[in-house]
């Protein structure tokens, strides 16, 4: 599969991040005044730079050499209390590597951590704070218990302004020679709801404004003949809920009941998540 442009254009330093001047200033100021960062909680809608920012903070703190002092966990898969006991707490207790006074642990998508595991985190955050700083990220701040949130400096990542997105898309479009017209770039920037990941994926998908129309005109057999790449692009090319509905209509019309389990599973996951398009791509790739 072709390289994902979202990864290729993921900023590596705080200065490369766009549209987040305030958030960058908060952290730089912290480092300047205190010589270190607090525990940080970065929250906001998808594709607005939270995970990227966390890595860039580690880069800023450790001057680019953070091996051994920076760890990442994805809390959507490591969400229970056992994981905290077995992996996170022992790691938090360890001293930083080399001369660094502390290490940084990223808990990505921390709003998925179960409430009892969150409660046990309170102690970890306090007891080892001299040698371990945590960065939590999440889409839904209200899913974290207040006693936990109060131990962090919370920084909001609102949806990005469409003009900032358009500028980024235009520059990627030029560097990559994608040849997408200016008007189309503008449409994508406005349609992505402030989600730059989604916007870049749409750009990579050829600037298809809305794939729902294309999908509606295809039979299940034709869909199954698309390449994985085309299926993924399709999933990212419009409103995920509408694309799902169109697929469901086809399954019903063609009585393709062998797909019903996969569709139900996808529907469930889509309702639970803001990353609807990810589950939709998985559905298209595996069941169609
Ligand atoms: N502020 C930004 N500046 C530059 N690139 C960005 C920014 N925000 C997002 N991106 C682009 O979008 C991609 C996804 O960003 P990132 O993973 O940081 O989003 P996120 O806020 O963590 O999303 P999620 O809530 O879905 O985890 C990045 O790899 C990068 O290409
Ligand atoms: Mg993220």
Domain shared by 127 and 217, yes or no = no
Confidence of residue 68 (pLDDT cuts 50, 70, 90): confident
Last residue of a domain, one of 103, 132, 156: 156
Nearest alpha carbon, ligand 1 atom 28: 10
Compute the distance from residue 4 Cα to the ligand 2 centre, in Å: 16
Mean predicted lDDT score pLDDT of the chain = 91
Compute the distance from residue 183 Cα to the ligand 1 centre, in Å: 23
Nearest alpha carbon, ligand 1 atom 16: 49
Compute the distance from residue 282 Cα to the ligand 1 centre, in Å: 20
Q: What's the domain count of the chain?
A: 2
Domain shared by 135 and 174, yes or no = no
Give pLDDT, residue 208: 58
CB 154 within 8 A of CB 182: no
Q: What CATH code is carried by the domain that includes residue 71?
A: 3.40.50.300
Distance of CA 272 to the CA centre of its chain: 15
Domain shared by 77 and 35, yes or no = yes
Q: Give the residue-averaged pLDDT of 236-262.
A: 91
CB 199 within 8 A of CB 237: no
CB 162 within 8 A of CB 25: no
Give pLDDT, residue 235: 87
Tokens of 216: 């509606």
Give pLDDT, residue 84: 82
Domain shared by 281 and 183, yes or no = yes
Domain shared by 144 and 193, yes or no = no
Q: For residue 183, with 0-12 CB atoms within 10 Å meaning exposed, 13-18 middle and 19 or more buried, which class applies?
A: exposed
Domain shared by 117 and 192, yes or no = no
Give pLDDT, residue 67: 75
Report pLDDT digits (tens) over 127-178.
999 999 999 999 999 999 999 999 999 999 999 999 999 999 999 999 999 9
Tokens of 143: 């899913």
Give pLDDT, residue 210: 67
Compute the distance from residue 222 Cα to the ligand 2 centre, in Å: 34
Last residue of a domain, one of 134, 156, 178: 156
By mean pLDDT, which of 114-128, 168-182, 232-246 is the weakest? 232-246
Range of the domain at 262: 162-287
Q: For residue 82, with 0-12 CB atoms within 10 Å meaning exposed, 13-18 middle and 19 or more buried, which class applies?
A: exposed
- Ion ligand 2, residues whose Cβ is below 5 A away: 50-51
Last residue of a domain, one of 108, 132, 156: 156
């Amino acid at each position: 599969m072709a390289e994902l442009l979202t990864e290729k254009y993921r900023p590596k330093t705080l200065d490369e991040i766009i549209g987040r001047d305030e958030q960058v200033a908060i952290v730089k100021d912290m480092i300047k005044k205190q010589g270190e960062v607090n525990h940080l909680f970065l929250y906001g809608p998808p594709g607005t730079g939270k995970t990227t920012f966390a890595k860039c903070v580690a880069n800023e703190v450790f001057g680019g050499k953070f091996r051994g002092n920076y760890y990442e966990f994805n809390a959507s898969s490591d969400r229970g209390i056992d994981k905290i006991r077995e992996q996170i707490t022992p790691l938090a207790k360890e001293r930083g590597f080399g001369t660094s006074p502390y290490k940084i642990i990223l808990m990505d998508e921390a709003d998925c951590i179960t409430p009892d595991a969150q409660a046990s985190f309170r102690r970890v955050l306090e007891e080892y704070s001299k040698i371990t700083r945590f960065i939590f990220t999440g889409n839904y701040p209200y899913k974290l218990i207040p006693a936990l949130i109060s131990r962090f400096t919370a920084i909001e990542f609102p949806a990005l302004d469409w003009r900032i997105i358009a500028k980024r898309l235009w520059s990627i479009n030029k560097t990559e020679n994608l040849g997408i017209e200016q008007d189309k770039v503008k449409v994508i920037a406005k349609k992505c709801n402030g989600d730059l990941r989604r916007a870049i994926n749409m750009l990579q998908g050829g600037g298809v404004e809305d794939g729902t129309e294309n999908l509606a005109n295809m039979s299940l057999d034709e869909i199954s003949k698309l390449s994985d790449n085309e299926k993924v692009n399709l999933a990212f090319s419009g409103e995920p809920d509408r694309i799902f509905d169109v697929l469901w209509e086809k399954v019903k019309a063609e009585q393709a009941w062998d797909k019903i389990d996969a569709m139900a599973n996808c529907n469930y996951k889509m309702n639970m998540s803001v990353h609807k398009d990810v589950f939709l791509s998985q559905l298209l790739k595996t069941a169609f």
